[in-house]
Structure 1
Amino acid sequence: MLSVCFDNDDLFHFYAQVNIKINDIEQDKRS
């Protein structure tokens, strides 16, 4: 697990951005 050295809002925002990128990549593979 990542050690939380910055606040949870930043962490959540970071993961949200990553998930969006992953979803875009997955959809590119399907089409």
Structure 2
Amino acid sequence: MHQLQRARRRGGGLAVLGAQQVRAGAISSR
């Protein structure tokens, strides 16, 4: 899990994709 977080910090695009996934998950929860 730590490696994934590091990759996210290094890759801006990856971070954006992660944020989108989190948003989609929040909408699904609603």
**Number of residue-to-residue matches in the alignment:** 23
Quote the RMSD (CA, aligned, Å). 1.5
List structure 1 segments (4+ residues) > 4 angstroms apart after TM superposition. Answer: none
TM-score relative to the length of structure 1: 0.60
Greater C-alpha Rg: 1
Gaps of 5+ in 2: 1-7
Which of structures 1 and 2 has the larger relative contact order (alpha carbons within 8 angstroms, sep 6+)? 2
Q: Which has the higher helix share?
A: 2
Task: Give the fraction of aligned pairs with identical amino acids, expressed as a percent.
Answer: 9
